[in-house]
Amino acid sequence: MIPIITISREFGSGGHSIGEKVAKKLEIPFYDGEIVIRVAEESGYARDLIEEQGEHTSMGNRWFDISTASAMYFQSPQDEIFLAQRRVILECAAQGPCVIVGRCSDYVLKTEGIRAMNVLIHASLENRIKRVIERYGELEEVSAKKRIAKKDKMRRTYYRYYTDEHWGNYENYDLALDSGTLGEETCVHIITELARHFE
């Protein structure tokens, strides 16, 4: 049976697009933006706010200046979003095989003892800069590099904060692929192939 597939990715590696194509090929649901919308509905937060804050931690909070003492007793808005996303991820997983991109989904499922096929998509900085420039045409190389560094740092911090584990440790993944050297189509093919052989 096709498993639940989680995709973790470096910014600019094309992991989101690869996940979407894998879901289409396997004819299973794809969750990413959709999770965000459902979380918005569930938590009562405005959609724009969640899209903007969805992968921020409560450290360096831009909304409220919570003192350390009060932060120990109250959840920050980001913590509430994380918990709401967690619930949505578990709901999605409960419905059967699907592809879930990002949002610590590998960790969320693992802590609930739900077996998933965990995939990491990465690429060299050089290849990611190329891809980001192609995608967001207006960017110069320097801006692309800055954007990648910022996004990666944000995701790593988010993962570290909510899972207490380091992002990108190969031990956490059944499969890791270099989308820069292999190309998007080959990655889609290999993930699909592994999903069909996954026990």
User: In the complex, which residues of this chain contact its own copies (CB under 8 A)?
Assistant: 120, 122, 124, 168, 170-171, 173-178, 181-183, 186, 189-190, 193-194, 197-199
Q: How far is the CB of 57 from its own copies (least distance, A)?
A: 23
User: Which residues fall within 8 angstroms of residue 45, CB to CB, at 6 or more apart?
Assistant: 39, 77, 80, 81, 84
Name the residue nearer to its own copies (CB basis): 95 or 181. Answer: 181
Q: Cα–Cα distance between 19 and 179 in angstroms, integer?
A: 12
Name the residue nearer to its own copies (CB basis): 48 or 171. Answer: 171
Q: How far is the CB of 44 from its own copies (least distance, A)?
A: 38
Q: How far is the CB of 62 from its own copies (least distance, A)?
A: 32
Query: Is 119 in contact with 8 (CB distance < 8 Å)?
Result: yes
Name the residue nearer to its own copies (CB basis): 100 or 188. Answer: 188
Q: Cα–Cα distance between 7 and 76 in angstroms, integer?
A: 26
Q: Cα–Cα distance between 36 and 50 in angstroms, integer?
A: 7
46 in helix, strand or coil? Answer: coil
HEC sequence for 127-145: HHHHHHHHHCCCCCHHHHH
Name the residue nearer to its own copies (CB basis): 33 or 183. Answer: 183
User: Which residues fall within 8 angstroms of residue 78, CB to CB, at 6 or more apart?
Assistant: 53, 56, 57, 58, 61
Question: Which residues share a beta bridge with 117?
Answer: 5
Q: How far is the CB of 186 from its own copies (least distance, A)?
A: 5
Q: How far is the CB of 50 from its own copies (least distance, A)?
A: 30
Name the residue nearer to its own copies (CB basis): 85 or 179. Answer: 179
